[in-house]
Amino acid sequence: MEQIVKYIGTIHSSLKKLDDCPKLETENAPEASINILPEFVEGIKDIKPGQELLLFTWLHLADRTTIKCHPRNNRKTPLTGVFSTRSPDRPNPVGIHKVEVVSISKKGIIKVSNLEVVDQTPLIDIKPVLNYS
């Protein structure tokens, strides 16, 4: 049974090419804006500046045939099964990104810190970071 993944928004970033993207958000990734589609804006009404979120993206430029890769594209490392890596190239190219909300508008634009994805990347979900102590 095939399921359909719905995009809930689009990332707008200064990163225009894959080669521009850092490997991780902690490696000088820029701020970015997320435009939430109108039918999903009600779902973000309780998100606040300063809140940490997990963004799930559809890495639409990924190679979906990849099963093995060199971690971090370092050819000096051995080929590794893709599910043991954070490679964007994978059968289902779902990205996960931890960000902090910088600002949010009533029109559905969320500005976030340190997001390492290319401009126009589709957003498929948002979840709050839960701190259990």
Enumerate domains of the chain plus CATH numbers: 9-62+92-128 (2.40.30.70)
Residue with tokens 């559905």: 108
Strands (E), the chain: 9-12, 32-36, 52-58, 68-69, 80-81, 94-104, 109-112, 122-128
Indicate whether 54 pLDDT > 70. Answer: yes
Indicate whether 41 pLDDT > 90. Answer: yes
Which residues lie closer than 8 Å to 46 by C-beta, 6 or more apart? Answer: none
Q: Which of 75, 69, 70 is nearest to 91 (CA)?
A: 69
pLDDT one-digit tens code per residue, 80-94: 888 888 788 888 889
Cα–Cα distance, 129 to 31 (Å, whole number): 18
Residue type, 42: E
User: Global pTM?
Assistant: 0.85
Indicate whether 71 pLDDT > 80. Answer: no
